[in-house]
Structure 1
């Protein structure tokens, strides 16, 4: 790429459990330097049951975004992109959130699951250039899956099997667990429901589909599982990034948490208290994904949709066609 400039950009992603900000310096379609800020805002509270946002959840998200806007301005970002994912797709009163974001000067985009999967794959694949991988982003309301190869040196970006499934830690918790620890049969029911959907995904792939040897997972569930398994206090992102988790480790973590209430889970080393109520269900989702795909290990990435957004913003500012085929709405602060 010629005439590349370096830009300071901001990207905000509002998920079912977490609201996240990345401040990045980008150049040539890649992140040169970045910092992240995550707030657990639980936007999806009650959405699976009611189909609506509750006012308190929206207020938590807007409070986080006020902080994010201040941080982006202090950073000197030339623009910001704001995306909303699973919970906003599901909520019949999503305007409550979207109007509040516009009042903060943001231009929110509710993106479909396939765009979410492509952004995440793009953000993750920079670390696995030329390698065929399947990327799984397991969030609060959905899990996005995408298999493909990214080889920037020869301008290859090929994706297959891109899909968004309505399986996530918040959704599974609300749908199957009456309390924590789960009652008899609830854990196995959650596992069976998740496993059936993942199995249907893999079984429904074309017969000539080339299975990816490496499963790469992103999101708060898998990063928390690494912190739990290795008792990381404080959290160490450099240790977590590209760390491997085995099926046995995930299963052991589920067994450990399955006899505890939320307060007990919150005391475990590496678990954020605000994530304690949904991490057990999240771990079940990850285990069933691994089982359905036949993966004994997975690789955890600290990169995610935010990294893909930052790189895509860079391409847009440079006036090039975005690699993933989606153009973000940008606004100055």
Structure 2
């Protein structure tokens, strides 16, 4: 951000502390710890787990048995990046979807992630929670219902297919859709679908992420 110094100074003058930017590795490990700890509070979790966070510009994938040993990658594909680079039409054409799929598959295949390893797959962040709310057909977003929701590979594929064939105006009619996400959710769904195709386990959606990971680390 061009005004980051102004932001830092404003925070420090009001709170007495200077903001700290954490590196991507730590961010991903905190998300991993938050998702796993929240799930373990509900019951046993099969490990190792894969934690996925599909953002606007990148997608983080981390695998491990705990936050300290989890390792993974940050891939240069996110819902905004894929939409802007490949999915130019409204709705996207078959050719555009094909190009986007090939690009996503190339990054996943060269990521170094062993997709045969995870016994549990968690999705954190806005893309995963938005997809869960649509599958659940919620009339309004409900954190309690989204947290812990499970999406099968078939459900993810069907939803991705639907979103990629709908114009943005139709997507905006989804009750739980945030306007700022309506034009890019199709790209996010495509990314999640390509990951789902490589895994033998369903997607467990989690509302817990970085802040929960921080708390879990403090309590450890």
Pair in the same fold by TM > 0.5 = yes
Determine which of 104, 108, 124 is the counterpart of 2:19: 108
User: Larger % of helix: which?
Assistant: 2
Task: Quote the offset at 1:120 in angstroms.
Answer: 0.5
- TM-score between the two structures when normalised by the length of structure 2: 0.85
Q: Unaligned stretches of 5+ in structure 1? A: 1-93, 151-156, 316-322, 324-333
Task: Quote the offset at 1:296 in angstroms.
Answer: 4.7
Structure index of larger Rg = 1
- CA separation in 2, counterparts of 1:170 and 1:269? 21
Determine which of 200, 209, 214 is the counterpart of 1:304: 209
Determine which of 284, 297, 310 is the counterpart of 2:190: 284
> Does the CA contact (< 8 Å) of 2:56 and 2:78 recur in 1?
yes
User: Larger % of strand: which?
Assistant: 1
Determine which of 37, 41, 63 is the counterpart of 1:147: 63
> Does the CA contact (< 8 Å) of 1:227 and 1:269 recur in 2?
no
**CA 1:97/1:279 → structure 2, altered by over 3 Å: closer, same or farther?**
farther
Query: In the alignment, what sits opposite 1:117?
Result: 28
- TM-score between the two structures when normalised by the length of structure 1: 0.58
User: What is the number of residues matched between the two proteins?
Assistant: 210
Higher relative contact order, chain-length normalized (CA < 8 Å, sep 6+): 2
Task: Quote the offset at 1:104 in angstroms.
Answer: 2.7
Task: Quote the offset at 1:130 in angstroms.
Answer: 6.2
- CA separation in 2, counterparts of 1:109 and 1:158? 20
Runs of 4+ with deviation above 4 angstroms: none
- CA separation in 2, counterparts of 1:274 and 1:296? 30
- CA separation in 2, counterparts of 1:309 and 1:217? 18
Q: Unaligned stretches of 5+ in structure 2? A: 13-17
> Does the CA contact (< 8 Å) of 2:30 and 2:214 recur in 1?
yes
Between 1:124-133 and 1:219-228, the stretch displaced more is 124-133
1:225 aligns with 2:136: no
- CA separation in 2, counterparts of 1:189 and 1:285? 13
Superposed CA offset, 1:234-292 (max 9, x none): 11111111110111111111222222221211112322222101100000010111223
Task: Quote the offset at 1:184 in angstroms.
Answer: 3.5
